[in-house]
Structure 1
Amino acid sequence: MQVLQVNARRETGRKAQMQNISAAKAVSDVVRTTLGPRSMLKMILDASGGIVITNDGNAILREIDVTHPAAKSMIELARSQDEEVGDGTTSVIILAGEILHLSIPFLEKDVHPTVIARAFSKALEKAVEIIDAKIAFPLDVENREELLKIVRSSVGTKFTARLGDLVPNLALDAVQTVKTVGPDGKSAEIDIKKFAKMEKIPGGAIEDSTVLKGVMMNKDVCLPGRMLRKIEKPRILLLDCTLEYKKGENQTNVEITKEEDWEVLLKMEEDWIKQQCDIICSFKPDVVITEKGVSDLCCHYLAKANVTAIRRVRKTDNNRIARATGATIIHRLEELQESDIGTGAGLFNVEKIGDEYFTFIVDCDEPKACTIVLRGASKDVLNEVERNLIDAMGVARNILKDPRLLPGGGAVEMAISRELSKFADTVQGTEQLPFRAIGTALEVIPRTLAQNCGANVIRTLTKLRAKHAESPDGENSTFGIDGEKGTIVDMKALGVWEPYEVKAQSLKTAVESACMLLRIDDVVSGLRKKNRDGNPGEVENMSPEEDD
């Protein structure tokens, strides 16, 4: 595992702040080269000895190991950004690192960290206001071609960009499948983590990847040869209770004095299983799926009644099947009703792919859950496609939840930087310079894009700044840097867009975390140290000797 050596030592006041800033900058520099379509890849040795090759900021920061608490705090930024909007993890780390780096001159001039943080917060409010009023514009979510353009631009910097529209199409299909519409006609819920599952099957061409309108599981029927493996329009019963004879809570011991009593005991077990099977068969289901076990005798009775059984299914898969087919998961068979049977599936099918059997419950009327089947040459390729697809689905979800767009390629950052520098003249006192510093920090995104594609950074950034300054009313706010060629291009014409949710969240996370780290003036250890008598002492500050 790659270890980022930024050690926490006893530091107070100015030294603690400088240590935190240098730690945050170190984390920022790790992912700086992974921004943009011409980004570099990182090879990481993970904890289990495997190799991860990716340019996904969140995946990189999740694998590296750091010792400094401020560096750990920066890594948490990427995690929170990923959980909130699913994209923009690299941008938020780079931006937070740059904001902290530009705070150093103010700290050296003895400007109080609270004053700096207050100015940063004002700049953030103004930046969000500028985005809302001047840059963001609405999108028609019914226009699939427009949606594809946005998702395409979001994965344009990723490994899968060379595959064309494959990943954007998969992401859009998956998100539109799991979307639920509330009574007011708006999207009430888009939970892609719970209801859009990915199954990676090595082998086949990557173009064979598809989105199933239903559920796929790595399971086979309980009795191959006696139970049907293909049923059209199946009636599906879902259980989370066992279909085996229930043993005592504490493995009850039974003493038998007569041989006939043993037979009576076995007969009682068989009668109970027969009774449970009779309850199931009275509702005439075609498929029974349970999260627990199914005994051999129960399999026999079900097969005799022409019922297919699948056992030991994951809870998450059972929930997806319930959502896709309209079935209700039953806890006790005595409470089973006709309305609990799922009839929404079009086809139940068990197929052999490679050496394993997979169960498909597909062609559902209103699936609201889906499985994305990924095919590819190797596990490394499939893992990278999965990471890229998760980002793309996050972008598609954000667009459907808040259908507003912003131009990409650093255009938004440059437009905000220009507006903040104009507004900074109205800010009074010592807050003016930190306020202006946020505008300067935002230029790190277009600057990094230019660096990563090999362009002349100073010349390109000067041209972009001049282009934005040409129109006083902000008409040129859509001009940014083409990450492929390093030239100044109108992002509207190039078709590179970013969702409003991602950009707004990136700004908020970066600025707020920078404010928090600036206000730290002491690093202490939460571990109790033993005193000379060998007794636990009080919590102490971390010193260089103790840390070593």
Structure 2
Amino acid sequence: MSYTENTSGTNNRRHVGLEQLVTLAATAHTFLGPCKRYKFIKDDTSGDSVMVCSSFRLLENLDLTCSVGQLLSETVLAQQKVFHSGTGPLLFLVGAWSRAALECLHQGIAVRHILSAMSEGLDTCLQVCRARAVPVEDVPHLGVAQKWSALKPHAEDLPFNGHPFTESCPVSELQPNVMPLAQPTCQGNSKVLCKQTGTQGIKAARSKIKLTHSRHFTSNETTESEGPTTQRPVSQLNISENTDLDSLAFAVSHGCNEAMDLVLQASRIQSRMNGLGQSHRTFDVSKLVTCPLPGLPEDHACVMSGYVVLMSAEQASIVSRLKDQRMHIVLLNGDLSDKYRHLGFNNPAGIRHVTDKRDVHGVSREHEWVNSALATLLKYDVSVVLVNGVASEQLTDHCWRHDVLVIERVKPAVLRDFARATGAVPVSYITQVNERCVGAGVRLQVWREYRHSGRRTESSSTAVSVLAEQTALVTAVITSSVHGKLQSLEDQFWACAHHLHQALKDGRVLPGGGLVELHCIHELQKRIDNSGNRDKDEWQGEPYVGKVLQLMMDGLVDYVSTLLCNGTQVSSKVDAWTQINKRLKDLKGDSSPYVNILGLNLNEGASSDTICESVYDNVTVKMEAWRRALDLVFLVLQTDSEIITGFDAKEDFESHSFMVL
């Protein structure tokens, strides 16, 4: 029997997958808007807990053993990996549109009609986004960043109030001044909520189940051709004279002004290192790294030139002996280990190693490799080794005795920058190192030393700065006296950096604060009204479009109302719906994309003379989040229907009952 002939049977069975999406999405409603509320995820078995403040981190720390949960996690992960933002709206709309699909099924609407109508609704919303996009040059020029940075004294002048934190030697003359962080405002009224996970359970990060066959939700870092046609190459993101970078940055900061201030200070350092004046600015997000530093107040966060990394006291002792010296450097793309093989390497099969020499001295192959690697480093007078992966502990100990500093887990972007600045050539194996691969001109400095008291022990760590004369690398030092908050602060910094990067890449931004969603609601309502004026014969092929679009529109209304409630603009959902209905009437008279008719100020809490009132979103980020949300709903909807009713490939493909993703 064909699927379309058994619609009533479908509606009498539960669509568990859609119900699970609705339940999971409901856990992240408090992450929308500027006043995000922290959640504690507690494991009742072990007693461990983690503090999260984003949809991505929430799903990352849940033990999602069900297939729908894994699909949802992979979808959010794909969004986070490419854009570092937009996961909150994505997760919310997954739940809202799953609820809409369930209601359509309850009303007896066939799956193929749901797919067709919701696709039409998404196309309408994407057209609204393209039409309402504003050039970045038209963002109001308020010049607020200089005032913001001047609110607090220099970070080095701040007293430490008895904190066990001692300054070490001064920073090299190559290092620009440390930039201060503004007084925190965006998290002033955040609340810490204890959240139990119910039936989903808790997991440690190392035990996360990975979905290995989700090709649809692990897209590459390039966006689809449907995106804005005004995207600029990443290499050409120098800001034009008509663009006020400071105003644009705070317009897309979404309330995290202290994190965006760090991004702006990093941009100034990059411009200065590139030899640009104040009238010409540049911003390269690939030349940014972060260094979380626990134990210090948040107002000690700063940015500085070079690569800052946290080391143990033993490693830092090498830096003390090598400071103010120009040293040689080696860059390794993989692991520094005798067992490491590059991607794609296959050991030849069927080969036996035969020798007539007996291993009299009992020297292992690893020991021979360590001696050979150390001899290579000493031969070319190498003092610094940057490794993308992990390093052999045995070799690291030998290097430490010979004043060779080995730094592990270095990002590829950092390796590329040091390769450009020092002339080093990255290699895969230590045996490939020769005089042409070794770079020169690196300096080491002990930046800060501090002691951090943990739950039971007190540890001592040192922040070390690795510098090169021509480097454009900038490190943002993220500090917090609450250790569990460091991850959230670091995520906020990267979100702000990518907001600014994406705005410059697109060349256009969208008015935020729920305005674009309101325009989408208005456009969908017009389509619903026009559908009632069609002839009866014209509606034979699509009889349920109006109902589906209405339910889809209700999801957007719920999104805007939640945004208003979380932004403390209204006290309840009822008041939010009243405001939305009132503003929709106003929208009929003025459809200008520049007017924020909701008046949602995402920079609430700061004085009006220092903060830009306009709020903007990234065009590509919003459009991709909506696409991914609806794609996931479609996949789960069709999978549920196939499980409930069965799937006859020949009949269903001929009747177009299913859309293949």
- What's the TM-score once normalised by structure 2's chain length? 0.60
From 17, 29, 35, the equivalent of 1:20 is 17
Map of 1:265 onto structure 2: none
State the shift of 1:178 in Å: 8.9
The question of 1:94 aligning with 2:108 is answered no
Map of 1:323 onto structure 2: 417
Map of 2:128 onto structure 1: 130
Distance 1:295 1:478 in 2: 58
Map of 1:348 onto structure 2: 444
Deviation string 1:333-371 (CA, Å, 9 cap, x unpaired) is 67523463143x4x421353332234311364233x443
Distance 2:318 2:404 in 1: 12
Distance 2:471 2:65 in 1: 49
Map of 2:471 onto structure 1: 366
Map of 1:231 onto structure 2: 324
The question of 1:202 aligning with 2:202 is answered no
Map of 1:443 onto structure 2: 557
**Size of the alignment, in residue pairs?**
463
Contact 2:513 2:598 in 1 (8 A): yes
State the shift of 1:231 in Å: 2.0
Contact 1:17 1:520 in 2 (8 A): no
Structure 2: state its 5+ residue gaps.
1-8, 138-238, 275-282, 339-352, 363-367, 452-459, 532-538, 605-610, 645-661
Distance 2:321 2:613 in 1: 53
State the shift of 1:64 in Å: 2.9
Map of 1:280 onto structure 2: 380
Map of 1:357 onto structure 2: 462
Distance 1:279 1:81 in 2: 46
Deviation string 1:205-259 (CA, Å, 9 cap, x unpaired) is 3222223322223346779489733125544344689799xxxx99995337xxx
Describe the SS at the equivalent of 2:513.
coil
State the shift of 1:127 in Å: 1.6
Describe the SS at the equivalent of 1:372.
strand
Contact 1:407 1:496 in 2 (8 A): yes
Distance 2:129 2:405 in 1: 53
Contact 2:518 2:584 in 1 (8 A): yes
Distance 1:69 1:242 in 2: 37
Change (3 A) 1:317 1:406: closer
Deviation string 1:1-45 (CA, Å, 9 cap, x unpaired) is xxxxxxxxxxx8335554333222212221123322344432211
Distance 1:97 1:289 in 2: 44
Contact 1:214 1:370 in 2 (8 A): yes
State the shift of 1:139 in Å: 0.7
Change (3 A) 1:41 1:227: closer
Contact 1:17 1:517 in 2 (8 A): no
Change (3 A) 1:113 1:514: same
Structure 1: state its 5+ residue gaps.
1-11, 182-188, 257-261, 263-267, 303-307, 486-491, 526-548
Map of 1:29 onto structure 2: 26
Distance 1:226 1:20 in 2: 55
Map of 2:253 onto structure 1: 152
* Identity among equivalent pairs (%): 17
Map of 1:402 onto structure 2: 506
The question of 1:43 aligning with 2:140 is answered no
Structure 1 residue identity aligned to 2:476: I
Structure 1 residue identity aligned to 2:78: S
Describe the SS at the equivalent of 2:410.
helix
Give the ranges of 4+ consecutive aligned residues of structure 1 lying more than 6 Å apart after TM superposition: 175-179, 220-223, 240-244, 249-252, 268-275, 295-300
Distance 1:25 1:152 in 2: 29
Contact 2:310 2:464 in 1 (8 A): yes
From 168, 171, 181, the equivalent of 2:263 is 171
Change (3 A) 1:42 1:448: same
Structure 2 residue identity aligned to 1:316: V
From 310, 316, 334, the equivalent of 2:405 is 310
Contact 1:409 1:480 in 2 (8 A): yes
Distance 1:222 1:253 in 2: 38
Where do residues 337-486 of structure 1 align in structure 2 (5 Å cutoff)?
337-338=435-436, 340-343=438-441, 345=442, 347-351=443-447, 352-354=449-451, 355-362=460-467, 364-367=469-472, 369-425=473-529, 428=539, 429-430=542-543, 431-452=545-566, 453=568, 454-455=571-572, 456-471=575-590, 473-474=591-592, 478-482=596-600
Structure 2 residue identity aligned to 1:74: L
Judging by fraction of residues, say which structure has more helix: 1
Map of 1:500 onto structure 2: 619
Structure 1 residue identity aligned to 2:417: R
Distance 1:314 1:113 in 2: 52
State the shift of 1:117 in Å: 0.7
Deviation string 1:361-413 (CA, Å, 9 cap, x unpaired) is 1364233x443222221212323212322322332332232131111111110
Change (3 A) 1:386 1:378: same
Describe the SS at the equivalent of 2:598.
strand
Distance 1:318 1:501 in 2: 25
Distance 1:124 1:393 in 2: 28
Structure 2 residue identity aligned to 1:207: D
State the shift of 1:414 in Å: 0.6
Deviation string 1:509-542 (CA, Å, 9 cap, x unpaired) is 22222222222335869xxxxxxxxxxxxxxxxx
Structure 2 residue identity aligned to 1:502: V
Distance 1:98 1:320 in 2: 41
Distance 1:241 1:32 in 2: 41
Distance 1:500 1:270 in 2: 52
Structure 1 residue identity aligned to 2:561: R
Structure 2 residue identity aligned to 1:466: K
- What's the TM-score once normalised by structure 1's chain length? 0.71
Contact 1:175 1:393 in 2 (8 A): no
Contact 2:11 2:108 in 1 (8 A): no
State the shift of 1:500 in Å: 0.9
State the shift of 1:275 in Å: 6.5
Distance 1:226 1:506 in 2: 45
Describe the SS at the equivalent of 1:359.
strand
Change (3 A) 1:518 1:474: farther
Larger Rg over CA atoms = 1
Change (3 A) 1:174 1:515: farther
Contact 2:301 2:479 in 1 (8 A): yes
Deviation string 1:70-121 (CA, Å, 9 cap, x unpaired) is 3443344322322232112121122222222223443233221111111111
Change (3 A) 1:238 1:48: farther
Distance 2:57 2:593 in 1: 37
